[in-house]
Structure 1
């Protein structure tokens, strides 16, 4: 399919926006994302990362279309000793705070999380009482498009910063990692 055909398909999709409210207000949703990211870490080695992972998520939609979301993911880089599992909590702030919410709409993402490293160095870190868990901060942008009133497609662009602390002293950073990712997903409101 050529670029002009994709553009025409997107035009027809966005023209089908009616005066209906697609915010999903006062509903919960379940979803899944396929995410791919690149980054750097200095926990076990100064190396670049190329991770692919799936993220499962549960969220809710409140007043003015503001969303909150809890997700679990497991980052894996098959070419490096890098496996991280963890939870994130994100707040999705709509760009357009008003009604009705259109079928396609942008969001600003802000959040935090907790992640644990699992790899060849896990046993070494644990026997030396090093902190295997990292606190994380997230920021990004998302686009949500409704297929129908209860099915949404999502695209997210996210920056994630993880920080590990020295054992027994949370004020001294020991290592960090950053990951920039793009994800596509589907979610169902209920």
Structure 2
């Protein structure tokens, strides 16, 4: 009985402490690091038709600023490593993302939505890439949802689900325009140091 009462009191204190702090981080800068994993596929159509699935891992270094209401603007450099299911080959994407993060609350646990744009290079090794100096450029549309957890004033943890769709530069095969897109999604985990 005493243990049950103690557990109930601790649960109430923890729950109230999670929502008691009104912390937006406004007027702070931060650096962050995220790692993630997920799946995606390349879709090429036009003069040729190809669709290949892959698994990916990524790492991302972020610099961000927090504005009014906890809204954040982030600039991130990320590397994504692709492993294709069909032949096990490995390729790499690298690029910059410019994202807006909008939290729903200023409590310790803050759900949020994210949206943004990016510029990427597909650093491949096949004949197609060597004829283009080893890489192909593209533009990305980013979206996501996640949870920020305020640990202490200088540290936040982040768990999110992110979606990215990269549209690569157009090229021709046999005189026909070819469209190439790479949609991918997955989970990301990371942290931010506020200053």
Same fold (TM over 0.5): yes
Instruction: Decide whether aligned partners of structure 1 residues 58 and 113 sit closer, same or farther in structure 2, where only a CA change above 3 A counts.
Output: same
The two structures have a TM-score, normalised by structure 2, of 0.79
In the alignment, the residues of structure 1 paired with residue 40 and residue 162 of structure 2 have an alpha-carbon distance, to the nearest angstrom, of 12
C-alpha distance in structure 2 between counterparts of 1:167 and 1:186, whole Å: 39
Long gaps (5+) in structure 1: 1-8
Q: What secondary structure is seen at the aligned counterpart in 1 of 2:153?
A: coil
> Structure 1 residues 129 and 45, CA, compared in 2 at 3 Å: closer, same or farther?
farther
Corresponding position of 1:133: 137
Mapped pair 1:165 → 2:169: yes
> Of 144, 153, 160, which aligns to 1:149?
153
The CA distance in 1 between the partners of 2:50 and 2:155, in whole Å, is 42
- The equivalent of 1:107 in structure 2 is 112
Structure 1 stretches of 4+ with a deviation exceeding 2 A read 9-15, 17-21, 42-46, 77-82, 123-131
- RMSD between aligned residues: 2.7
- TM-score calculated relative to the size of structure 1: 0.81
Aligned pair count reads: 174
Larger radius of gyration: 2
Query: 2:36 is matched with which residue?
Result: 35
2:59 matched to which residue of 1? 54
Quick one: structure 1 residues 84 and 173, their matched pair in 2 at CA, closer, same or farther if it must change by over 3 Å?
Answer: same
- Larger displacement relative to structure 2 (77-86 or 126-135): 126-135
Deviations 1:42-67 (A, max 9, x none): 35952111011211111010011110
